[in-house]
Amino acid sequence: MKKIVLLSGLCIFLSSPVLMAQLSKAEAKQWKKTKKSMQVEEFKTMVEENSTLKRQVNQLNSEFASMETELQNKREEVSVLQVKVQNLQQDLAEARTLDISDDSNTNNTKVAKGVVFKVQIGAFRNKDLSKYFSASENFGGEVDADGTQRYTLGNFSDYWQADKFKKYLREMGVKDAWIVPYKDGRRVPMKDVLEGVI
């Protein structure tokens, strides 16, 4: 009885109009012959294999969908990282254009545009060391209206590096060393730049 039910099921399946519509007449004839000669065990094996293959297809489709989601997430991460890289490149380009220019107010010493910190090591009325300014870009000075010359060492973009250097100078015996800020080559009060730096 089971054989008859299975064979009739196979017959109905194989003789369906969709399957027949896809086959040529010669192919349909060949399949009819194959169907008639098929044993129940062969049919059962074929149905089980079909079921197994369908499960595998579903599993692979699920994995594919998961991989597509993961790929989309990775693409979004790449986009975020590309934006960060562009911003860093822009920052680097701006830092490179932090141009060193001459400023007549500082006796032709080189000064960086933007905020920098220097360590003042002294202020003298009778000592003129301006001839040494050109020997090192880290040694500089300026003359006040009353003729007092102030001498500085270093050129730091970071306040804390300047502070560390000031402490070393004090340990070495330069007791009057203190930090002075410059903005675009002009000396400014510390309160004007400290809030944005610390």
Q: Where are the domains of the chain?
A: 2-75, 100-197
- Any idea what the Cα angle at residue 40 is, between residues 36 and 43, rounded to 5°? 80
How far is residue 167 CA from its own chain's centroid?
37
Q: State the amino acid at position 50 in one-letter form.
A: N
Nearest to 111, CA basis, from 119, 101, 98? 101
What is the pTM for the complete model shown? Answer: 0.41
Question: d(Cα 50, Cα 34) in Å, to the nearest integer?
Answer: 17
Instruction: Print pLDDT tens along the chain (198 aa).
Output: 444 544 555 555 555 554 445 778 888 888 888 877 777 787 788 888 888 999 999 999 999 999 999 999 999 999 999 988 888 888 777 766 654 444 444 444 444 567 888 888 887 777 777 666 666 777 777 777 777 888 888 888 888 888 898 898 888 888 888 888 888 878 888 887 776 555
